[in-house]
């Protein structure tokens, strides 16, 4: 094990996959000479040259589509979006082309491409730059959606995403790049579609992903432990495909479920999880599934308002108390 | 019409244009019989564009277009019956009936599809050309789109990148004057689309898209330009569609006289016919026989599509996700049992050596640090 930052783990994943397969190239804004807006691509230009680490103009739709075209004829592009907020400009290429190529061609074409970049609130950036947009992408058939929370998962999943033959939406945490944790040495791959039980427990299940794990759920679980409540924490890692089995197994054990997500409540990922659980584990539930989400408003710049908008340890504890009928 | 093409080639071009027209007429009839439903955009009037282009290219050059996409793949060598079966929503179609009229793909013939979002294919073509350059291939990508697509953001974003990186791609604007019901001049500050190439430092040309030989000569020249590493081209082909935008369009935005004038005096098939007769390359009776054969071929395409089954319900969820070891669908093999299907293959892993230096290093002199700068 080596302790690495989230950004360093991603950098290792990119470098290892580019070393392994010359068809892999990285394109995006500031990825080459600038070494990445968040330094994920540090050193890659020097190592792999200017055809494989490409500084794109600020044309998200254009270079997203260029990547899709390259993937249609055998290359394996990794397209960096400086943030997922900007990728909204590229939605047409991601949704109407990448996600549908295999289908529209009746299985003649495949589209092995990764779109990656930071999502979620960045810290004092107001509304256009503080959006957790994963619910948009999980909606579309044909896409896979990953949102790792730790350096080890970030590395293992990015490597798996690059080797996958489908379009993968890879959402990093804008505030996670500096997070330091252990990463296994050597070849480290994580199967797409498998959740990870980050903390086993028996009293309540808390499902989460991305930054909410370390920012909210882990501290909440520790606080609950001091009160004698043993929370089981599930990190989804993969939002599409979803590991239903791990969630249902946990709910069968704890009989209570809280979902903590950074995004908005209406049609959020947690809403679908609640739907699945009420349908498939109804008899196991001792309380309604409860969600802690970002508030249904645009993000304010002011520090106190920004804090109040996002899920917090306090709101998570309150939700857990609710499903445990504690006051 | 002076040309170096052989008589056989000229006859073959004529035959293909006439076949494309008859095929589309039959598709229009089948639409009336509700055998084809949904959106259906006919190519009638624009045949010289597809055929002149085809003859100027190599078989393994990449091609793709928008949703008016029945003619190009047939000109590339696709099986007309399987194209018709796709229009009918049948399992014998190129996409198993998943795509229909707007999404025809024949990868065996390097036909990379029809796309239903105006201008959505423009960046894809740059990516395909990027891949060719990345692998050091001597291959050109030809991407066509209608005049209306020239006002999409994808056009501008892509041209900038394609030109900056000198990608071997020919963009063909098939200017049929109307984006659905809107005259291109009504919504364009510069309605002569080829002139926009100047802004991207790329070569821009225009050609009479109703003259198949002019189209051929121009495309030949532009393909050479691209293959020699000189970067992308924008070619505007002035053409005309005789039918509405799609089957539901009564075309009230233009006069009958305008359509009649185009049909009578500029029709690409009649123009080549005149040439063939004048030069005694073909006789009236010979061409009559040829049209009979074409009618028969198109009747057979309809019969093939009629006989093809609907896709089995077990296929409902198919072709959404793929594992690396899963095979690709090879339509001619699946539908006709063909054994001679050639499928594109590319170097895997590090068999590929990338030698392209996309942006040679230029020394950067860092600005001296200023005290107190933000």
What is the per-residue pLDDT for B69? Answer: 97
pLDDT at B328 exceeding the cut of 90: yes
Mean pLDDT over B307-313 rounds to 98
Structure tokens given for A314: 């306090």
Same domain, residue pair A172 and A228? no
In a domain, A188, yes or no: no
Share of chain A above pLDDT 70, in %: 100
pLDDT at A241 exceeding the cut of 90: yes
Judged by phi (left if over 0) then psi (alpha if -120 to 50, else beta), residue B284 lies in alpha
CB A93 within 8 A of CB A224: no
* Tally of domains in chain A: 2
Q: Under an 8 A CB cutoff, do B164 and A57 touch?
A: yes
Mean pLDDT over A178-193 rounds to 97
| CA–CA dist A155, B51 (Å, integer) | 50
Q: Under an 8 A CB cutoff, do A107 and B123 touch?
A: no
pLDDT at A95 exceeding the cut of 90: yes
Same domain, residue pair A66 and A209? no
| CA–CA dist A106, B105 (Å, integer) | 8
Provide, as residue numbers in chain B, all residues whose Cβ is less than 8 Å from the Cβ of A77.
Answer: 127
What is the per-residue pLDDT for B75? Answer: 98
3-state helix, strand, coil in chain B (%, to 5): 45, 10, 45
Instruction: Give the structural domain span for A144.
Output: 2-183
pLDDT at B373 exceeding the cut of 70: no
Mean pLDDT over B265-276 rounds to 97
What tens digit of pLDDT does each residue of A283-306 get?
A: 999 999 999 999 999 999 999 999
Query: Around B348, how many Cα atoms within 13 Å sit in the side-chain half-sphere?
Result: 3
Mean pLDDT over B28-57 rounds to 97
Partner-chain residue, chosen from B96, B123, B352, that has the shortest CB–CB distance to A66: B123
Residue B152 backbone phi and psi in degrees, to 5: -85, 155
Q: Under an 8 A CB cutoff, do A68 and B122 touch?
A: no
Cα torsion A244, A250, A253, A255: sign: negative
Mean pLDDT of chain B: 96
In a domain, A189, yes or no: no
- Catalytic residue numbers of A? 60, 129
CB atoms within 10 A of CB B71: 27
What tens digit of pLDDT does each residue of B358-371 get?
A: 998 887 777 777 76
Q: List, in sequence order, every beta strand (DSSP E) within chain A.
A: 2-5, 24-28, 53-55, 76-80, 114-119, 144-146, 168-173, 180-183, 196-199, 204-208, 231-235, 238-240, 257-260, 290-292
Provide, as residue numbers in chain A, all residues whose Cβ is less than 8 Å from the Cβ of B346.
Answer: 23, 73-74
| CA–CA dist A161, A169 (Å, integer) | 9
Partner-chain residue, chosen from B321, B349, B358, that has the shortest CB–CB distance to A54: B358
Same domain, residue pair A32 and A175? yes
Same domain, residue pair A200 and A179? no
Partner-chain residue, chosen from B116, B160, B329, that has the shortest CB–CB distance to A57: B160
pLDDT at B259 exceeding the cut of 70: yes
- Alpha carbon of residue B369 to chain centroid: 54
Mutate to test the interface with A, among B100, B109, B124 (most CBs of A within 10 A): B124
Provide, as residue numbers in chain B, all residues whose Cβ is less than 8 Å from the Cβ of A28.
Answer: none
Provide, as residue numbers in chain B, all residues whose Cβ is less than 8 Å from the Cβ of A21.
Answer: 348-350
pLDDT at A129 exceeding the cut of 70: yes
What is the per-residue pLDDT for A130? Answer: 96
CATH 3.40.50.970, domain B7-13+41-69+115-282, yes or no: yes
Mean pLDDT over A169-197 rounds to 97
Interface residue A30 vs chain B (CB under 8 A): no
The full set of domain ranges for chain B reads 7-13+41-69+115-282
Query: Cis omega (within 30 of 0) on the bond before A241?
Result: yes
Where does a domain end: A124, A156, A183? A183
pLDDT at B374 exceeding the cut of 60: no
Same domain, residue pair A13 and A146? yes
What tens digit of pLDDT does each residue of B151-188 get?
A: 999 999 999 999 999 999 999 999 999 999 999 999 99
Q: List, in sequence order, every beta strand (DSSP E) within chain B.
A: 62-65, 111-114, 141-146, 169-175, 178-179, 182-183, 203-208, 233-238
pLDDT at B63 exceeding the cut of 90: yes
Same domain, residue pair A123 and A49? yes
Mean pLDDT of chain A: 98
Partner-chain residue, chosen from A51, A72, A108, that has the shortest CB–CB distance to B358: A51
Same domain, residue pair A78 and A116? yes
Q: Minimal Cα–Cα distance from B168 to chain A, Å? A: 13
Same domain, residue pair A39 and A176? yes
Band of residue A137 on the pLDDT scale cut at 50, 70, 90: very high
Give the chain A residue nearest B115 (alpha carbons): A97
- In chain B, what is the straight-line distance between the N-terminal and C-terminal CA atoms, in Å? 67
pLDDT at B2 exceeding the cut of 80: no
Share of chain B above pLDDT 70, in %: 99
Band of residue A229 on the pLDDT scale cut at 50, 70, 90: very high
DSSP-assigned beta bridge partners for residue A120? A131
Where does a domain end: A157, A183, A209? A183
- Please report which helix (H) or strand (E) contains residue B265, including its range: helix B256-265
Where does a domain end: A183, A208, A238? A183
In a domain, A267, yes or no: yes
Mean pLDDT over A103-128 rounds to 97
Provide, as residue numbers in chain A, all residues whose Cβ is less than 8 Å from the Cβ of B347.
Answer: 22-23
Give the chain B residue nearest A79 (alpha carbons): B127
What is the per-residue pLDDT for A327? Answer: 77
What is the per-residue pLDDT for A1? Answer: 86
Give the chain B residue nearest A143 (alpha carbons): B321
Specify the CATH number for the domain of residue A244.
Answer: 3.40.50.920
Structure tokens given for B111: 């036909």
What is the per-residue pLDDT for B250? Answer: 84
Mean pLDDT over B341-346 rounds to 96
Q: Minimal Cα–Cα distance from B279 to chain A, Å? A: 43
Same domain, residue pair A61 and A176? yes
CB A188 within 8 A of CB A159: yes
Mean pLDDT over B109-136 rounds to 98
Q: Under an 8 A CB cutoff, do B103 and A105 touch?
A: yes
Give the chain A residue nearest B363 (alpha carbons): A33
Specify the CATH number for the domain of residue A144.
Answer: 3.40.50.970
Q: Under an 8 A CB cutoff, do A75 and B134 touch?
A: yes
What tens digit of pLDDT does each residue of A34-54 get?
A: 999 999 999 999 999 999 999
Q: Minimal Cα–Cα distance from B32 to chain A, Å? A: 25
| ipTM (interface predicted TM) | 0.97
Mutate to test the interface with B, among A65, A91, A163, A193 (most CBs of B within 10 A): A65
pLDDT at B128 exceeding the cut of 80: yes
Mutate to test the interface with A, among B99, B130, B199 (most CBs of A within 10 A): B130
In a domain, A21, yes or no: yes
Share of chain B above pLDDT 90, in %: 93
Provide, as residue numbers in chain B, all residues whose Cβ is less than 8 Å from the Cβ of A72.
Answer: 112, 124, 127-128
pLDDT at B372 exceeding the cut of 80: no
């Amino acid at each position: 094990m080596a302790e690495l930052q989230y950004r360093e783990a991603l950098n290792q994943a990119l470098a290892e996959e580019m070393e392994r397969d010359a068809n892999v190239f990285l394109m995006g804004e500031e990825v080459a000479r600038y070494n990445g807006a968040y330094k994920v691509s540090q050193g890659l230009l020097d190592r792999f040259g200017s055809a494989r680490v490409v500084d794109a103009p600020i044309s998200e739709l254009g270079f997203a589509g260029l990547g899709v075209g390259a993937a249609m004829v055998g290359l394996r592009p990794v397209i960096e979006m400086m943030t997922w907020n900007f990728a909204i400009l590229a939605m047409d290429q991601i949704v109407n082309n990448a996600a549908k190529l295999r289908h529209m061609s009746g299985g003649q074409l495949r589209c092995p491409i990764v779109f990656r970049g930071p999502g979620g609130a960045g810290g004092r950036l107001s509304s256009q730059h503080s959006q957790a947009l994963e619910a948009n992408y999980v909606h579309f058939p044909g896409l896979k959606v990953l949102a790792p929370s730790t350096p080890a998962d970030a590395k293992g999943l990015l490597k798996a995403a690059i080797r996958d033959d489908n379009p993968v939406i890879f959402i990093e945490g804008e505030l996670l790049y500096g997070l330091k944790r252990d990463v296994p040495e050597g070849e480290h791959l994580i199967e797409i579609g498998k959740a990870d039980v980050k903390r086993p427990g028996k009293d309540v299940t808390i499902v989460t992903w991305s930054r909410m794990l370390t920012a909210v759920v882990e501290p909440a679980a520790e606080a609950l432990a001091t009160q004698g409540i043993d929370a089981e924490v599930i990190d989804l890692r993969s939002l599409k495909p979803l590991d239903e089995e791990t969630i249902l197994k946990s709910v069968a054990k704890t009989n209570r479920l809280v979902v903590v997500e950074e995004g908005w409540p209406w049609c959020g990922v947690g809403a679908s999880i609640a739907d699945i659980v009420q349908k498939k584990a109804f008899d196991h539930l001792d309380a309604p599934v409860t969600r802690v989400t970002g508030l249904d408003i645009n993000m304010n710049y002011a520090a106190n308002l920004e804090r109040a908008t996002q899920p917090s340890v306090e709101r998570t504890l309150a939700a857990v108390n609710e499903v445990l009928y504690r006051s | 019409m002076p040309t170096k093409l052989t008589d056989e080639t000229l006859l073959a071009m004529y035959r293909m244009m006439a076949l494309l027209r008859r095929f589309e007429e039959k598709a229009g009839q089948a639409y009336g019989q509700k055998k084809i439903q949904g959106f259906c955009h006919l190519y009638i009037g624009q045949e010289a564009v597809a055929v002149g282009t085809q003859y100027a290219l190599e078989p393994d050059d990449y091609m793709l277009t928008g949703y008016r996409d029945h003619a190009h793949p047939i000109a590339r060598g696709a099986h007309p019956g399987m194209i018709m079966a796709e229009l009918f929503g049948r399992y014998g179609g190129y996409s198993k009936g998943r795509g229909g009229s707007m999404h025809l793909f024949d990868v065996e013939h390097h036909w990379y599809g029809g796309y239903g979002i105006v201008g959505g294919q423009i960046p894809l073509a740059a990516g395909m050309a990027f891949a060719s350059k990345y692998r050091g291939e001597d291959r050109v990508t030809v991407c066509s789109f209608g005049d209306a697509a020239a006002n999409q953001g994808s056009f501008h974003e892509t041209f900038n990148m394609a030109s900056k990186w000198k990608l071997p791609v020919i963009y063909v604007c098939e200017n049929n004057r109307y984006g659905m019901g809107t005259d291109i001049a009504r919504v364009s500050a510069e309605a002569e689309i080829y002139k926009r190439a100047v802004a991207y430092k790329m070569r821009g040309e225009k050609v009479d898209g109703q003259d198949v030989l002019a189209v051929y000569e121009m495309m030949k020249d532009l393909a050479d330009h691209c293959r020699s590493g000189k970067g992308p081209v924008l070619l505007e082909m002035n053409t005309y569609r005789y039918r509405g935008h799609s089957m539901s369009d009564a075309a009230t935005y233009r006069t009958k006289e305008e359509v009649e004038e185009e049909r009578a005096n500029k029709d690409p098939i009649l123009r080549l016919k005149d040439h063939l007769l004048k030069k005694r390359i073909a006789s009236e009776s010979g061409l009559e026989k040829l049209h009979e054969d074409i009618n028969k071929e198109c009747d057979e395409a309809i019969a093939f599509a009629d006989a093809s089954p609907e896709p089995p319900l077990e296929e409902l969820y198919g072709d959404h996700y793929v594992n690396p070891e899963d095979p690709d669908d090879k339509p001619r093999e699946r539908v006709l049992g063909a054994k001679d299907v050639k499928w594109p293959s590319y170097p895997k892993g590090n068999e590929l050596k990338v030698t392209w230096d996309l942006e040679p290093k230029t020394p950067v002199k860092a600005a001296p640090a200023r005290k107190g700068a933000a």
